[in-house]
């Protein structure tokens, strides 16, 4: 069986999927983004510097690994060119990419629509036009990459879009899209067929989730979600292949963060939250916004596990918890006076949830850069084991710093 690994954000995004995917792609043949678009910001810190990836799959920073942008994404050609230029400026080899011909485009009009609809203030979106691009897709008026081979159709669609939205230069957008097609047409193709062949011939494929389970359009805290399928279910939906996964890795930050609006039961609004934000450098990779911070939420994580059926956990940013006298973990909620153990489907109910905490002892030793589990303070080891017991899933990787090698590897994944 071909090793197919799914790497999925288990919380509200920014769990450090980029670092984990980059690590697991060391020997992968393909790395596939299957959802989201330029709203994602996946950080990789390696010998070339810090790369904040928005649309380029993190595995594609390894020159042997083909980065696939599949049709579950929405693609912003302007942002992609910018991102590639940035990576080139860092002295990196150009990533090898395959773009699915079925991928819908994010156009300048989508950002304008997002602003007009007020989605950015109501939901705290990333203002990248991602929601309106997905909306146009299901409304059957989107432009796909394969349409760029048909200039008449593109011009017609852009004119129609201008009549409704206004605010952009049709000729300029048209000519940029044509130039993009000129430059990239050899890298546009049937990604489903390529993936299917790669899996059949035993190649190693990593599926890189964007955002996190709680931001999934169906399973997340609707309406405070993104517009795509962020869970493992997004993989068949967004690629057209249904792999037998050798591992489904839930990426879990050792505490909780969220950027944007919506319920967050364990949020710490006072000095504790501030301390987590400073220690974890919790500022958005895409927008620079300060992230809302709080304790680990096991009610939400049990729910994320029920949806994704994780085979392994990658626990990231454990180093950030060093120095706290005690560490709290939500094990249930109290809603309207009643104890609740299931994650509510309704955001209005979740907004009233008060966490019921279990308190674990903290540790004082700085563990930045630690590479061996047995050398961690016993309280840090106990924290990891507590999580394993509650979820019933082994913690295979532990992040101890932003750098690629600040990682504890406790077991093979495939
Ligand atoms: P992603 O969207 O899930 O890929 O996560 P982001 O890149 O948006 O946010 C994760 C942030 O934490 C980035 O700034 C990373 O460089 C950083 N980071 C990753 N792993 C660790 C870790 O184990 N410890 C610390 N302190 N920082 C980390
Ligand atoms: P990565 O892949 C964290 C959030 C936004 C907003 C909501 C909808 O880096 O984990 P959108 O622009 O998608 O319509 O915004 O989703 N959001 C993210 N939060 N990490 C992300 O990506 C996010 N992508 C979108 O803040 O609350
Ligand atoms: Mg991010």
Kindly tell me the burial class for residue 244, based on how many C-beta atoms sit within 10 Å of its own C-beta (0-12, 13-18, 19 or more): exposed
Encode pLDDT of 36-68 as tens digits.
999 999 999 999 999 999 999 999 999 999 999
Residue 287 has what pLDDT?
A: 82
Residue 150 appears among annotated catalytic residues: no
40 lines ligand 2 (CB under 6 A): yes
- Average pLDDT, integer, range 228-249: 97
Task: Tell me what the pLDDT averaged over the chain comes to.
Answer: 96
Q: Where are the alpha helices (DSSP H) in 248-341?
A: 271-279, 298-308
Residue 414 has pLDDT above 80, yes or no: no
Distance between CA atoms of residues 21 and 337, nearest Å: 41
Instruction: Lowest mean pLDDT of 1-10, 108-117, 273-282, name the range.
Output: 1-10
Q: Tell me the CATH number of domain 105-184, given options 3.40.50.970, 1.10.300.10, 3.40.640.10, 3.40.50.300.
A: 1.10.300.10
Residue 175 has what pLDDT?
A: 98
Encode pLDDT of 324-335 as tens digits.
999 999 999 999
**CA 293 to chain CA mean position, Å:** 17
Rounded to the nearest 5 degrees, what angle is found at the Cα of 101, between the Cα atoms of 100 and 104?
A: 90
- Average pLDDT, integer, range 392-414: 92
Q: What is the pTM of this model?
A: 0.98
Sign of CA dihedral 49, 50, 55, 58: positive
Q: Tell me the CATH number of domain 253-307+317-391+401-406, given options 3.40.50.460, 3.40.50.2300, 3.40.1350.10, 3.90.170.10.
A: 3.90.170.10
Residue 319 appears among annotated catalytic residues: no
Distance between CA atoms of residues 395 and 407, nearest Å: 12
Q: What CA–CA distances, in Å, run from 339 to 157, 262, 346, 351, 360?
A: 53, 21, 16, 15, 21
Residue 286 has what pLDDT?
A: 79
Quick one: which of 29, 47, 36 has its CA closest to 14?
36
Q: Tell me the CATH number of domain 4-100+188-247, given options 3.40.440.10, 3.40.50.2300, 3.30.2130.30, 3.40.630.30.
A: 3.40.440.10
- Rounded to the nearest 10°, the torsion over CA 306, 312, 316, 321 is 80
Element (H, E) at 380: helix 378-391
Residue 379 has what pLDDT?
A: 98
Sign of CA dihedral 405, 411, 413, 414: positive
- Average pLDDT, integer, range 234-263: 97
Sign of CA dihedral 25, 99, 33, 54: positive
Q: Pocket around ligand 1: residues whose beta carbon is below 6 Å from it? A: 9, 13-19, 41-43, 45, 281, 285, 316-317, 319-320, 399-402, 406
Domain ranges within the chain, ordered by starting residue: 4-100+188-247, 105-184, 253-307+317-391+401-406
291 lines ligand 2 (CB under 6 A): no
Encode pLDDT of 140-174 as tens digits.
999 999 999 999 999 999 999 999 999 999 999 99
Element (H, E) at 327: strand 326-335
Residue 353 has pLDDT above 60, yes or no: yes
Q: Which of the following is catalytic: 22, 42, 71, 229?
A: 42
Quick one: which ligand is closest to 317's CA? 1
């Amino acid at each position: 069986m071909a090793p197919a690994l799914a790497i999925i954000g288990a919380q509200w995004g920014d769990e450090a999927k980029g670092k984990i995917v980059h690590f697991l792609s060391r020997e992968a043949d393909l790395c596939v983004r299957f959802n989201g678009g330029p709203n994602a910001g996946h950080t990789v810190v390696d010998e070339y510097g810090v790369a904040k990836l928005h649309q380029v799959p993190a595995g594609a920073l390894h020159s042997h690994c083909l980065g696939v942008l599949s049709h579950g994404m929405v693609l912003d050609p302007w942002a992609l060119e910018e991102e590639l230029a940035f990576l080139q400026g860092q002295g990196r080899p150009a990533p090898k990419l395959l773009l699915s011909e079925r991928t819908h485009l994010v156009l300048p009009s989508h950002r304008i629509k997002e602003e007009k609809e007020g989605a950015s203030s109501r939901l705290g979106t990333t203002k990248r036009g991602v929601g309106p691009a997905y909306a146009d897709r299901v409304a059957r008026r989107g432009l796909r990459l394969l349409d760029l081979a048909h200039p008449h159709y593109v011009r017609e669609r852009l004119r129609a879009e201008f009549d409704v939205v206004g605010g952009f230069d049709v000729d300029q957008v048209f000519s940029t899209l044509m130039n993009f097609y000129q430059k990239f047409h050899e890298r546009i193709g049937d990604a489903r067929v390529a993936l299917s062949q790669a899996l059949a011939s035993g190649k190693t494929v990593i599926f890189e989730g964007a955002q996190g389970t709680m931001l999934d359009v169906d399973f997340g805290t609707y309406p405070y979600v993104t517009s795509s399928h962020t869970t493992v279910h997004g993989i068949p939906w967004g690629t057209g292949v249904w792999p037998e996964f050798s591992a489904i890795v839930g990426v879990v930050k050792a505490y909780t963060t969220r950027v944007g609006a919506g319920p967050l039961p364990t949020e710490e609004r006072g000095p504790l939250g501030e301390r987590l934000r400073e220690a974890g450098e919790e500022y958005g990779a895409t927008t620079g916004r300060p992230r809302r911070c709080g304790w680990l939420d096991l009610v939400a994580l049990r729910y994320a596990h029920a949806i994704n059926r994780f085979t392994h956990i990658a626990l990231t940013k454990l180093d950030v918890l060093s120095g706290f006298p005690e560490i709290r973990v939500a094990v249930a909620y109290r809603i309207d006076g009643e104890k609740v153990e299931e994650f509510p489907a309704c955001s209005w109910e979740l907004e009233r949830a008060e966490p019921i905490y279990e308190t674990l002892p903290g540790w004082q030793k700085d563990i930045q850069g630690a590479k061996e589990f047995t050398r961690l303070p016993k309280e840090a080891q106990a924290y990891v084991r507590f999580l394993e017991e509650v979820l019933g899933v082994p913690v295979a990787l532990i992040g101890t710093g932003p750098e690629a090698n600040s990682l504890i590897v406790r077991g093979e994944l495939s």
